[in-house]
Amino acid sequence: MDMREIIAQALNKAAKAAFPEADFEPAALARALEIPPDPAMGDMAFPCFALSRQLRMGPPQIAAKMAGGISDPLIERAEVKGGYLNFFLAREAFCGGTVENVLASKGHWGAGTEGEGKTVCIDYSSINIAKRFHIGHLSTTAIGHSLKRIYDYLGYRTVGINHLGDWGTQFGKMIAAYKHWGSKEEVEQGGVQALSDLYVRFHKEAEEDPALEDEGRAWFKRIEDGDAEALSIFNWFKEITLKDADRVYDILGVTFDSYAGESFYNDKMDRVVDELKAKNLLVESDGAWVVDLEPWGMPPCLIIKRDGATLYATRDIAAALYRMDTYNFEKCLYVVAYQQDLHFRQVFKVLELMGYEWAAERMQHVAFGMISYEGEALSTRKGNIVYLDDLLRAAQEKALAIIEEKSPGLPDKEKTARQVGIGSVIFFDLFNSRIKDIDFRWDRALNFDGETGPYVQYTYARCCSVLRKAGEVNAAPDYAALTDDEAMALIKLLALFPEAVRDAALRSEPCALTRATTEIAKAYNKFYYEHRILTQDAGESAARLALTCAVKEVIGRGLYLIGLEAPEQM
Ligand code: ARG
């Protein structure tokens, strides 16, 4: 049971007893419970102001009437203060009960079954063919991967989709470039970098020789027409890109259930166009076909270009229909940069106009801000690009150097450096609300003392070390030993963890979990500095060890849910 539930139950009982005529919605009362800024004011507080009108009574009077009816073994007392009813938990029962519940969940504290029978599609990472994986694609990858783990944890079926950018005239140009200047060996060896070099060269040479553009177009036409040679080269480019990306995915532990990208929808375009026509939604504009969105304050959504080609939006409309048919999703999330806000609003609106009401209710653009590196904006044009594999390699090296210095005797330093280095990057990306821009800085990401991945991982390793040193303890825990302020503050955070999991899912904000896990780590360290874990008193020691074990499991789970590994030693 989580903390809000404990108090909400007692509150609802008391509210019913005090106002038998009133028709309260139990969930609404539960939601209104607040955490007071100062724990001396109570562990949770119920503001009575909103009920004042309905009950025709002053908030303090309402609070007083309900206070009399609070009776629960987990609640010590309820005090009236102004218009608030402040709850104080019975520390020993609450702390002991929570620690035991956490341990009984066997590493699954806060997991749920509310998602059973429901499917969530998550479109994330969605890289582009023939482009190297750079840090502009870090956020979508990290956020999407974390959301997938969070929804899995709540019992949903999740479908991770890498909607590959594998369609467009640029691929015709790539083939033309390859035919002119490329060689099989070079591309095999150089990988995606070789491909993007060819592409850059194409643009340079095309400035001198415009005929190249025609060649590019001709090759693209051949891809479109299913020409064997064109397709085999194109598919080979795709393979090379994915092999490169897989290296990064492996390092990050990221997986997908589907790689159906833009080209997957080639044979599904007619349905979209026919349906739009049949529903009288297509209008001609300058030889192109569009859906007018003026009444909703948006520019028209371009469906077919003048030359007959379909567009990014057309493909996203087809993809949405396909996903609904195939997965019957409860939600479809698009983890894509904020810049594509208009694109998704247009696509969702067109689907709605087509009569698919679910588009408005079930599809969501999970937008995120821009990333810069050490204070500098990234730009392909200016040549200021940071590739993700370079960044991750540097992270491991830097972590290794720190570990060599701090704990030279550590066994398997490479493994720990990998966990800490990679973890520091993901954690940094997921620490703030996703819409905020991120400036990636090494001194912040890898700081062992701040609110960072290494700090939380270090706390996890500290718990492991305490438990290792204690060995087997046979005494029954005496939970009276967990009633001090530090233990209480820590255990309250454990009791709120299940709420953080749900909050993260509801708002598509992994940072809710990053924060909750960091707060637990901070509170444990505070507890650790104030109290000895192993004392002369066996019952006391057993209780503090049980708490340490519970903290270790919850931190480990929190790290997992945001996509980090948890090192046992650091
Ligand atoms: N490939 C696109 C990009 O890199 C992102 C695709 C996002 N997903 C989608 N269904 N449109 O900008």
From the CA of 103, how far away is ligand 1's center (Å)?
A: 42
From the CA of 165, how far away is ligand 1's center (Å)?
A: 6
From the CA of 283, how far away is ligand 1's center (Å)?
A: 26
* Tokens, residue 332: 């479809």
pLDDT value of position 378: 87
Strands 84-89 and 75-81: antiparallel
Strand order in the sheet with 363-368: 157-161, 119-123, 331-337, 363-368
pLDDT band at 1 (very low <50, low <70, confident <90, very high): low
Atom 4 in ligand 1: residue holding the nearest Cα: 127
Atom of ligand 1 nearest to the CA of 164: 1
From the CA of 364, how far away is ligand 1's center (Å)?
A: 14
Q: Average pLDDT over the chain, rounded to whole? A: 95
Ligand 1 — pocket residues by CB below 6 A?
123, 126, 128, 163, 165, 316, 319, 334, 336
| pLDDT higher than threshold 80 for residue 516 | yes
Euclidean distance between CA atoms 240 and 190, whole angstroms: 10
User: Mind listing the pLDDT tens digit for each residue in 274-317?
Assistant: 999 999 999 999 999 999 999 999 999 999 999 888 999 999 99
Euclidean distance between CA atoms 251 and 149, whole angstroms: 17
Atom 9 in ligand 1: residue holding the nearest Cα: 163
What is the distance of C-alpha 95 from the center of its chain?
A: 30
pLDDT value of position 261: 94
Give me the count of residues in the chain.
570
From the CA of 333, how far away is ligand 1's center (Å)?
A: 12
From the CA of 291, how far away is ligand 1's center (Å)?
A: 21
Pocket probe for ligand 1: among 340, 344, 346, 378, the residue whose CB has the most ligand atoms within 8 Å is 340
User: Mind listing the pLDDT tens digit for each residue in 548-563?
Assistant: 999 999 999 999 999 9
pLDDT value of position 246: 95
Exposed / middle / buried, residue 532 (Cβ in 10 Å: 0-12, 13-18, 19+)? exposed
Long-range contacts of 522-529 (CB under 8 A, 24+ apart): 522/451, 523/486, 523/489, 523/490, 523/493, 524/459, 524/462, 524/463, 524/490, 524/548, 524/551, 524/555, 525/459, 525/462, 526/486, 526/489, 526/490, 527/486, 527/487, 527/489, 527/490, 528/462, 528/466
| pLDDT higher than threshold 90 for residue 181 | yes
Q: 189 CB contacts (<8 Å, ≥6 apart)?
A: none
Exposed / middle / buried, residue 11 (Cβ in 10 Å: 0-12, 13-18, 19+)? buried
Backbone phi and psi for residue 438, each to the nearest 5 degrees, phi listed first: -120, 130
pLDDT value of position 472: 84
From the CA of 146, how far away is ligand 1's center (Å)?
A: 18
Pocket probe for ligand 1: among 122, 336, 363, the residue whose CB has the most ligand atoms within 8 Å is 336
* Tokens, residue 52: 């004042």
Atom 1 in ligand 1: residue holding the nearest Cα: 165
Atom of ligand 1 nearest to the CA of 165: 1
From the CA of 298, how far away is ligand 1's center (Å)?
A: 20
Q: What is the rounded average pLDDT of the residues 134-149?
A: 97
pLDDT band at 382 (very low <50, low <70, confident <90, very high): confident
From the CA of 335, how far away is ligand 1's center (Å)?
A: 9
Euclidean distance between CA atoms 388 and 381, whole angstroms: 18
User: Mind listing the pLDDT tens digit for each residue in 431-464?
Assistant: 999 999 999 999 999 999 989 999 999 999 999 9
What are the angstrom distances between the C-alpha of 374 and each of 438, 439, 454?
Answer: 10, 6, 19
User: Mind listing the pLDDT tens digit for each residue in 329-369?
Assistant: 999 999 999 999 999 999 999 999 999 999 999 999 999 99
Bridge partners of 121, per DSSP, are: 159, 332
Q: What is the rounded average pLDDT of the residues 464-476?
A: 93
From the CA of 121, how far away is ligand 1's center (Å)?
A: 14
pLDDT band at 473 (very low <50, low <70, confident <90, very high): confident
Atom 6 in ligand 1: residue holding the nearest Cα: 126
Pocket probe for ligand 1: among 133, 135, 163, the residue whose CB has the most ligand atoms within 8 Å is 163
pLDDT value of position 160: 98
Atom of ligand 1 nearest to the CA of 261: 10
